[in-house]
């Protein structure tokens, strides 16, 4: 068994356009006056063909339409892409085909079409459960619109998840308790809860650097918010299976698990990353970020990829380590050793376990609840000699 | 070779910022030494660190030609010197190479502490002094009052002081005339055996060791074989030049002239500032008196952040000390920091400058330990030991008493700020010796412990007086006081590099300030960290750095793996700038920042 098979095989497709750019967002997303969906369709299909030739016969577990705002794609485009994928790779019986959706009115009308195209799961960016904060996040929709969109989606898909951003400006612990309570009433079986991150190169980062963007929570408050989140979600039967992802056991996002479990995934679209094991070498792929250039290159029959890099044993170990410790299921010690060629530093593991940051079973290493909150520091300790 | 009576050699001296380098610019410019398009402000301040801080650190020599009103063309060698008290050694060294000084005084500020100190040095060197009142373009300039002040405070005849604005160029022709008419020409005998003074030297990446000389007697030519009289090392001169200010080759240098040579010198140690250079054969028999060695007063340890850089650091220190005779070094080992050097400096700014130059010019990351002065330990067995490093403090039971160096500090300050200055000196265990006035400026003389001054006395003085005070000091004596070693413990482990000697009465306050500072400087860890100051086993101040509570990336999907991996790799590199003490990592900035006090 090749190592990637522990995680499975998926396909990520990036749609780089949005209606407007949110001030906190550092995704490869752009606002464009006109989008030629036909041109994109031809390009995506060409890329699927190119990737298919490199990984023939592989059993595909999942497809993910991410963005940007993929719910702005024409349902026909989504259908054509899914058809071509099905024609290229054999798929599992009940493949997970997720599409990221914004709760805007434009998109809602397309949900049925996405369902007919083959989409099985929607992940919706609701972000906040009060209108004032939605505005401060630069979102164009209201809570009422989001609830309506969510209802429509539920009517079309068995599996609907949504995202919230918390630890926002001037958000108190009590306000978050109330907001999360509402979210849990709405949630079905999956929920992503992200603490607001000020990402380099965003409008928020600019404002922050200039001393604006006041009222962000202190480290202590954001720790308390995180703890509260775990407590309320546990009680609601949606425990965290990953740092920011909660699900009823069995309803986890299979696609995202591929990343965290170190599976292979094909990346298609501008800026998309992939990991492909070919003849025992694991390649990191990355496409050119600019949507216009990407499209131009694919149109011209060229590969839009940046030079691929072959991951060394050390890098493979490192990636597996930093992804798997995010999961409650943790890291398989044998697998790590097999991948990287060396075992993790036993003394460091013991020190971190004594501090209550890690726990170990015969086969696995886990970050404890305390360890997960300071996972970056735990990883630093483990990898930085 | 130039006729002696057509040569004038002089230094430009003044208190810091009174306009020496700007005056040098004008002299260079008006004599056409440098083309207009190549001029820039303070052009002799060529080091990055000089330009950033806007001060001169190294003395610089330039040869200019001046066609005087008497119809003859003179060769002038000017040396622009630094004004800050920490670089006073550069000034005294430079003065030995010349016969006169231009004493620049800012006509809006008047006589300051270094003005006085420079006059005494110039008189000591037997110089003719021409007073120059600068910045007369400023509305606040009061040339008449300042002229009077020079006479009252210094006792120097200022009736024919030259009035200039170095900035606008006003009065510069008068300065040039004063140089040729009022300063004496050098003396020397062309036919005597070669006797040259080694004035300065530095390491040049292309040329190797470059030596600057002032010829006293005889003639030096390219190809000559010369001997360094202190070390007896013999070299053949490869290149002989003068500085204009770039190097211009010259066939020979005669008496009274200043120039540079290279000679494939391998041993950096062979070029000692103040040494006498003569010909290998038929050389002179008597060496020049040489320079008084500089007395370092502040010591600290310099350690490479990366232990593998030790050899590079050794090499860099050797090359730098060539360029700065006032800085002394010896090897040191520290339990926590490994191999490094204990270095002596003339003051804190000097320390900072050397550290900066090592880091920049030689690309070595350094950890600097707490600055300290030399204490004298009078042992019970009657012997006396010098303590350069608090980490080396022997067991108290062997010590009878401890003495510390005291200084005589002269501070000149406008009346309005006098109260603050007195308070600062009092807080630093000072004893007032004298207080007098020259107009609305007060001159206070204090007896202060040097240890209290090496911390941030100078910075504090500047800040309480908004920059209007000037300060000069000289070491006076060693005196007994109730001194103790204060150690710092981080997570219960002593950090030897942070231990220091303090007065018992000030230990609590100093200890408290240190632990509070360190609490801010050490990043949070996954566990809480007690930070303590202690005298022996007794803890006198304590802070606790609470444990880190949250540090985890919120979103990490397929595209983030590479980013996250790079971040960890960067942190691996960043870790090099940290030092491990037990389980705790201390960033190197903490070592120096912890010592800057705010009160
Ligand atoms: N208004 C005015 N400013 C001047 C004059 N001469 C110098 N300055 C300014 O005074 C400041 C200090 O000048 P420098 O020439 O660097 O002084 P310095 O004496 O060489 O200083 P150090 O080398 O650090 O001791 C600079 O900002 C100059 O521009 C002048 O004649 N008039
Ligand atoms: C690709 S994005 C969003 C998809 C969709 N375009 C939307 O905005 O609804 C995936 C999720 O990441 C989260 N996110 C984006 N930027 C974030 C930030 N700076 N801090 C925290 N969460 C963020 C948001 O919850 C978002 O829904
Ligand atoms: S958060 Fe979503 S909608 Fe907003 S700019 Fe980013 S990808 Fe587009
Ligand atoms: Mg200067």
Domain ranges of chain A: 3-259, 312-385
Residue A262 pLDDT? 97
pLDDT in tens, A95-114: 999 999 999 877 788 999 99
Percent of chain B with pLDDT over 90: 61
Q: Indicate if the pLDDT at residue B1 is higher than 80.
A: no
Packing angle, helices A173-186 and A219-235, rounded to 10:
30
pLDDT at A368 over 70: yes
Determine if ligand 2 sits within 6 Å of the CB of residue A125.
yes
Under the banding of pLDDT at 50, 70 and 90, the label for residue B575 is low
Sign of CA pseudo-dihedral B515, B519, B523, B527: positive
Q: How many Å lie between the alpha carbon of B561 and the closest alpha carbon of chain A? A: 6
| Beta strands per DSSP E along B504-551 | 529-535, 538-545
Q: What is the dihedral of CA B249, B251, B256, B258, to 10 degrees?
A: 20
What does the pLDDT read at residue B368? 83
What's the confidence (pLDDT) of residue B598?
A: 46
Per-residue pLDDT for A223 more than 50? yes
B548 vs A222: CB contact, 8 Å cut-off?
no
The two three-digit tokens of residue A327, written as one number: 């999961």
Residue A199 CA to ligand 2 center (angstroms) comes to 11
Per-residue pLDDT band for B305 (boundaries 50, 70, 90) equals confident
Among the listed residues B474, B491, B576, the one whose alpha carbon sits nearest the alpha carbon of residue B92: B474
Q: Do residues A15 and A55 make contact, with C-beta atoms less than 8 angstroms apart?
A: no
Contacts of B565 in chain A (CB under 8 A): 315, 318-319, 322
Query: Is residue A53 pLDDT above 90, yes or no?
Result: yes
The reported pLDDT for the residue numbered B596 is 58
Ligand 2 pocket, residue B555 CB under 6 Å: yes
Q: How many H helices and E strands in chain B? A: 14, 33
Q: Is the pLDDT of residue B597 over 60?
A: no
* Residues of chain A found within 8 Å of residue B580, distances taken between Cβ atoms: none
Looking at the partner chain, which of A220, A265, A383 has a beta carbon nearest the beta carbon of B568?
Answer: A383
Least confident of A252-266, A274-288, B364-378: B364-378
> Could you tell me the pTM of the whole model?
0.69
CATH number at A312-385: 1.10.10.920
DSSP B62: E
Residue B319 confidence (pLDDT): 86
Residues 6+ away with beta carbon under 8 Å from A343: A333, A336, A337
Given a cut of 50, whether residue A119 has pLDDT beyond it is yes
pLDDT of B375 over the 90 cut: yes
Does B380 have pLDDT greater than 90?
yes
Q: Partners of B210 in the beta sheet?
A: B202, B262
The answer to whether B121 and B89 are in contact (CB under 8 A) is: no
Q: How confident is the model at residue B296 (pLDDT cuts 50, 70, 90)?
A: confident
Q: Express each pLDDT in B386-399 by its tens digit.
A: 998 888 899 889 99
pLDDT digits (tens, 9 = 90+) for A170-193: 999 999 999 999 999 999 999 999
User: Is the Cβ atom of B55 under 6 angstroms away from ligand 1?
Assistant: yes
β-partners of residue B236 are B225
Overall average pLDDT of the A303-319 stretch: 95
pLDDT at position B7:
97
Phi, psi of B496 (to 5 degrees): -60, -35
Whether residue B418 is predicted with pLDDT greater than 70 in this model: the reply is yes
Cα–Cα distance list, A248 to A126, A162, A191 (Å): 20, 14, 9
Mean pLDDT of A368-384: 93
Q: What is the mean pLDDT of residues A210-224?
A: 95
What pLDDT score was predicted for residue A91? Answer: 97
- pLDDT for B595: 62
Q: Judging by DSSP bridges, how do beta strands B60-67 and B234-236 pair with one another?
A: unpaired
Which residues have a Cβ under 8 Å from the Cβ of B21 and sit 6 or more positions away?
A: B42, B44, B45, B56, B80
Is residue B571's pLDDT more than 90?
Answer: no
CA gap A276, A278 in Å, rounded: 6
Give the whole-angstrom CA distance, residue A14 versus residue A202.
20
Helix (H, G, I), strand (E, B) or coil at B445: strand
What Cα–Cα distance (Å) separates residue B184 from each residue in B10, B108, B187? Answer: 10, 30, 9
Mean pLDDT of chain A: 96
User: Which residue shows structure tokens 């013999």?
Assistant: B234
Rounded to whole angstroms, how far apart are CA atoms B15 and B471?
10
- Per residue in B99-156, pLDDT (tens digit) is 999 999 999 989 988 898 899 889 989 999 999 999 999 999 999 999 999 998 888 9
- Is it true that the peptide bond before A68 is cis, omega within 30 degrees of 0? yes
Strands B431-438 and B375-379: unpaired
Say what the pLDDT of residue A236 is. Answer: 97
For residue B585, give how far its alpha carbon lies from the nearest alpha carbon of chain A (Å). Answer: 11
- Cα Rg of chain A (Å, integer): 21
Please give the interface size between A and B, counted as residue pairs whose CB atoms are below 8 Å apart.
94
CA angle (A233 as vertex; A228, A237 as ends), nearest 5? 150
Contact B558 A376 (CB under 8 A): no
How far apart CA A51 and CA A88 sit, in angstroms, is 9
Separation between Cα atoms, residue A296 and residue A18, nearest integer Å: 20
Q: Is B259 exposed, middle or buried (0-12, 13-18, 19+ CB in 10 A)?
A: buried
Percent of chain A with pLDDT strictly greater than 70? 100
User: Worst-scoring range by mean pLDDT, A57-71, A348-362, B206-220, B443-457?
Assistant: B443-457
Question: In this predicted model, which residue has the larger pLDDT, B381 or B466?
Answer: B381
**In the numeric block, which tokens belong to residue B246?**
């770039």
Q: Do strands B239-243 and B247-249 pair parallel, antiparallel, or not at all (unpaired)?
A: antiparallel
Residue closest by Cα to atom 6 of ligand 2 = A69
Least confident range from A148-152, B170-174, B448-452: namely B448-452
Predicted local confidence at residue A385, as pLDDT: 63
Q: Which pair of structure tokens corresponds to residue B403?
A: 């003495």
Confidence of residue B599 (pLDDT cuts 50, 70, 90): very low
CA angle B320, B321, B323 (to 5 degrees): 70
- A341 CB neighbour count, 10 Å cutoff: 12
Q: Which of A194, A326, A380 sits opposite B571 (nearest CB)?
A: A380
Q: What CA–CA distance (Å, rounded) separates A73 from A19?
A: 12
CA proximity to B388, closest of B366, B371, B408:
B371
Report d(CA B277, CA B240) in Å as an integer: 14
Residues in chain B: 599
Is B218 within 8 Å of B255 (Cβ atoms)?
yes
Nearest CA in chain B to A244: B554
Q: Do B549 and A381 touch (CB under 8 A)?
A: no
Sign of the Cα torsion A123, A127, A130, A132 reads negative
How far is Cα B180 from Cα B76, in angstroms, rounded to an integer? Answer: 9
Higher-confidence residue of B80 and B332: namely B80
For A181: left if phi > 0, alpha if psi spans -120 to 50, otherwise beta; the answer is: alpha
Whether residue A336 contacts residue A349, with contact meaning beta carbons closer than 8 Å, is answered with: no
Q: What is the mean pLDDT of residues B197-215?
A: 92
Ligand 3: which of A27, A31, A67, A204 to mutate, judged by most atoms within 8 Å of the beta carbon?
Answer: A27
Q: What angle do CA B490, B492, B493 make, to 5 degrees?
A: 70
B301 within ligand 1 shell (Cβ under 6 A): no
Task: Look at ligand 2, atom 8, and give the residue with the nearest C-alpha.
Answer: A125
In percent, how much of chain A has pLDDT > 90?
Answer: 97
Residue in A17, A22, A26, A107 to alter for ligand 3 test, most ligand atoms within 8 A of Cβ:
A22
- Residue B411 DSSP SS3: strand
Please choose, from the candidates A155, A149, A230, the residue with its C-alpha nearest in 3D space to the C-alpha of residue A195.
A230
What per-residue string of b and e applies to A113-129 under the rule 16 or more CB within 10 Å gives b? Answer: bbbebbbbbbbbbbbbb
Look at A378 and B332; give whichever has higher pLDDT.
A378
Q: Which residues line ligand 3 (CB under 6 A)?
A: A 18, 21-22, 25, 27, 29, 67-69, 102, 125
Chain B hits for A256, CB-CB cut-off 8 Å, are 557
Extract the tokens encoding B101: 């000084």
The CA A22 to ligand 3 mean position distance, Å, reads 5
pLDDT of residue A87: 97
Q: At B574, phi and psi to the nearest 5?
A: -60, -30
Classify residue B434 as exposed, middle or buried by CB count within 10 Å of its CB (0-12, 13-18, 19+).
Answer: exposed
Does ipTM come in above 0.90?
A: yes
Tell me the fold of A3-259.
TIM Barrel (3.20.20)
What pLDDT score was predicted for residue B142?
A: 95
Phi, psi of A220 (to 5 degrees): -65, -45
Residue B557 has pLDDT above 50, yes or no: yes
Top-confidence residue, B222 or B562:
B222
The alpha carbon of residue B325 and the mean position of all alpha carbons in its chain are separated, in whole angstroms, by 10
**Mean model confidence pLDDT for chain B:** 90
Please, which residues have CB within 8 angstroms of residue A237's CB and are 6 or more apart in sequence? A248
Work out the number of other CB atoms within 10 angstroms of the CB of residue A239: 14
Instruction: State the virtual CA torsion across B219, B225, B226, B231 in degrees, nearest 10.
Output: 180
Is residue B577 very low, low, confident or very high in pLDDT (cuts 50, 70, 90)? low
HEC letters along chain A: CCHHHHCCEEEEEEECECCCCCCCCCCCCECCCCCCHHHHHHHHHHHHHHHHHHCCCCCEEEEEEEECCHHHCCHHHHHHHHHHHHHHCCEEEEEEEEEEECCCHHHHCCHHHHHHHCCCEEEEEEECCCHHHHHHCCCCCCHHHHHHHHHHHHHHCCEEEEEEEECCCCCCHHHHHHHHHHHHHHCCCEEEEEECCCCCCCHHHHHHHCCCCCCCCCHHHHHHHHHHHHHHHHHCCCCEEECCEEECCCCCCHHHHHHHCCCEEEEECCCCEEEEEECCEEEEEEECCCHHHHHHHHHCCCCCECCCEECCHHHHHHHHHHHHCCECCCEEHHHHHHHHCCCCCHHHHHHHHHCCCEEECCCEEEECHHHHHCHHHHHHHHHCC
The C-alpha atoms of residue B77 and residue B242 are separated, in whole angstroms, by 10
Cβ-Cβ contacts under 8 Å for B163 (sequence gap 6 or more): B107, B133, B136, B143, B170, B171, B174
Average pLDDT over residues B455-465: 82
pLDDT above 60 for B411:
yes
Q: How far is CA A168 from the centre of its chain?
A: 20
Q: Cα separations (Å) of A29 from A18, A20, A265, A290, B498?
A: 6, 9, 21, 10, 50
- Cβ atoms within 10 A of the Cβ of A334, count? 12
- Among A162, A158, A169, A156, CA closest to A185: A162
């Amino acid at each position: 068994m090749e190592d990637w098979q522990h995680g499975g095989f998926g396909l990520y497709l990036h749609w780089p356009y949005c209606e407007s750019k949110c001030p906190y967002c550092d995704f490869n997303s752009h606002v464009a006056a006109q989008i030629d969906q036909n041109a994109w369709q031809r390009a995506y299909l060409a890329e699927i063909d190119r990737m298919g030739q490199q990984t023939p016969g592989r059993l595909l577990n999942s497809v993910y339409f991410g963005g940007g705002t993929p719910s702005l794609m024409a349902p026909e485009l989504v259908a054509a892409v899914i058809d071509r994928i099905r024609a290229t790779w054999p798929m599992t019986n009940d493949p997970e085909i997720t599409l990221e959706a914004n709760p805007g009115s434009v998109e809602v009308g397309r949900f049925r079409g996405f369902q007919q195209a083959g989409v099985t799961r929607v992940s919706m960016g609701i972000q906040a459960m009060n209108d004032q904060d939605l505005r401060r996040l630069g979102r164009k929709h209201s809570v009422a619109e989001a609830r309506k969109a969510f209802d429509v989606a539920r009517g079309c898909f068995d599996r609907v998840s949504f995202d919230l951003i918390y630890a926002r400006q001037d958000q108190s612990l009590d306000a978050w308790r109330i907001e999360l309570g509402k979210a849990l009433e709405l949630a079905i079986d999956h929920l992503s809860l992200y603490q607001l991150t000020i990402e380099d190169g965003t409008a928020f980062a600019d404002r922050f650097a200039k001393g604006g963007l006041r009222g962000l929570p202190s480290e202590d408050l954001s720790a308390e918010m995180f703890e509260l989140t775990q407590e309320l979600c546990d009680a609601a039967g949606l425990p965290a299976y990953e740092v920011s992802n909660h699900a009823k056991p069995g309803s986890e996002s299979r696609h995202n698990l591929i990343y965290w479990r170190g599976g292979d995934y094909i990346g298609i679209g501008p800026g998309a990353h992939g990991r492909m094991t070919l003849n025992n070498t694991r390649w990191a792929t990355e496409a050119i970020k600019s949507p216009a250039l990407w499209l131009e290159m694919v149109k011209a029959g060229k590969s839009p990829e940046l030079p691929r890099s072959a991951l060394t044993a050390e890098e493979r170990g490192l990636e597996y380590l930093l992804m798997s410790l995010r999961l409650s299921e943790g890291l398989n010690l044998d697998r790590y050793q097999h991948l990287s060629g060396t075992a993790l530093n036993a003394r460091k593991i013991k020190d971190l376990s004594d501090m209550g940051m890690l726990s170990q079973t015969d086969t696995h290493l886990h970050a404890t609840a305390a360890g997960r909150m300071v996972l970056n520091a735990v990883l630093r300790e483990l990898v930085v000699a | 070779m130039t006729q002696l009576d057509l040569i004038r050699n002089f230094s430009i001296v003044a208190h810091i910022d009174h306009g020496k380098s700007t005056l040098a610019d004008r002299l260079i410019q008006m004599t056409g030494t440098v083309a207009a398009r190549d001029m820039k402000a303070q052009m002799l301040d060529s080091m990055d660190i000089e330009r950033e801080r806007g001060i001169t650190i190294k003395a610089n020599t330039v040869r200019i030609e001046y066609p005087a009103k008497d119809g003859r063309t003179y060769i002038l060698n000017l040396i622009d010197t630094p004004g800050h008290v920490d670089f006073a050694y550069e000034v005294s060294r430079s003065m030995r190479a010349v016969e006169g000084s231009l004493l620049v005084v800012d006509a809006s500020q008047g006589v300051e502490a270094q003005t006085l100190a420079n006059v005494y040095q110039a008189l000591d060197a037997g110089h003719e002094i021409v007073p120059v009142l600068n910045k007369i373009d400023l509305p606040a300039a009061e040339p008449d009052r300042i002229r009077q002040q020079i006479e009252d405070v210094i006792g120097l005849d200022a009736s024919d002081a030259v009035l200039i604005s170095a900035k606008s160029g006003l009065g510069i022709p008068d300065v040039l005339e004063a140089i040729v008419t009022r300063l004496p020409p050098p003396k020397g005998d062309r036919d005597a055996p070669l006797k040259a003074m080694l004035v300065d030297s530095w390491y040049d990446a292309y040329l190797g060791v470059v030596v600057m000389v002032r010829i006293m007697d005889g003639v030096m030519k390219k190809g000559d074989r010369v001997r360094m009289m202190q070390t007896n090392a013999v070299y053949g001169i490869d290149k002989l030049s003068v500085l204009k200010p770039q190097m211009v080759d010259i066939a020979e240098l005669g008496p009274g002239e200043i120039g540079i040579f290279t000679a494939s010198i391998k041993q950096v140690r062979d070029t000692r500032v103040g040494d006498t250079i003569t010909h290998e054969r038929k050389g002179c028999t008597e060496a020049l008196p040489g320079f008084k060695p500089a007395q370092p007063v502040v010591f600290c340890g310099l350690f490479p952040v990366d232990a593998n850089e030790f050899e590079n650091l050794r090499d860099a220190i050797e090359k730098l000390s060539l360029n700065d005779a006032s800085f002394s070094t010896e090897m040191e080992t520290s339990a926590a920091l490994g191999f490094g050097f204990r270095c002596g400096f003339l003051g804190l700014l000097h320390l900072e400058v050397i550290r900066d130059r090592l880091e920049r010019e030689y690309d070595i990351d350094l950890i600097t330990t707490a600055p300290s002065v030399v204490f004298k330990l009078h042992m019970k067995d009657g012997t006396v030991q010098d303590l350069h490093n608090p980490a080396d403090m022997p067991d108290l039971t062997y010590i009878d008493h401890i003495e510390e160096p005291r200084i005589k500090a002269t501070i000149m300050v406008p009346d309005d700020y006098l109260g603050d200055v007195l308070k600062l000196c009092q807080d630093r265990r000072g004893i007032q010796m004298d207080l007098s006035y020259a107009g609305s400026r007060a001159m206070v003389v204090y007896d202060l412990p040097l240890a209290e001054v090496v911390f941030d006395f100078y910075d504090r003085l500047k800040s309480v007086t908004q920059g209007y005070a000037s300060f000069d000091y000289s070491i006076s004596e060693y005196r007994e006081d109730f001194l103790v070693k204060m150690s710092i413990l981080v997570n219960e482990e002593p950090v030897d590099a942070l231990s220091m000697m303090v007065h018992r009465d000030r230990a609590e306050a100093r200890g408290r300030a240190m632990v509070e500072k360190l609490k801010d400087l050490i990043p949070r860890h996954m566990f809480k960290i007690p930070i303590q100051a202690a005298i022996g086993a007794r803890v006198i101040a304590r802070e606790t750095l609470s444990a880190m509570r949250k540090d985890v990336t919120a979103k990490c999907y397929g595209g983030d793996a590479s980013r996250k991996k790079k971040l960890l790799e960067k942190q691996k590199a960043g870790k090099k700038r940290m030092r491990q003490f037990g389980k705790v990592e201390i960033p190197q900035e903490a070592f120096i920042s912890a010592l800057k006090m705010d009160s």
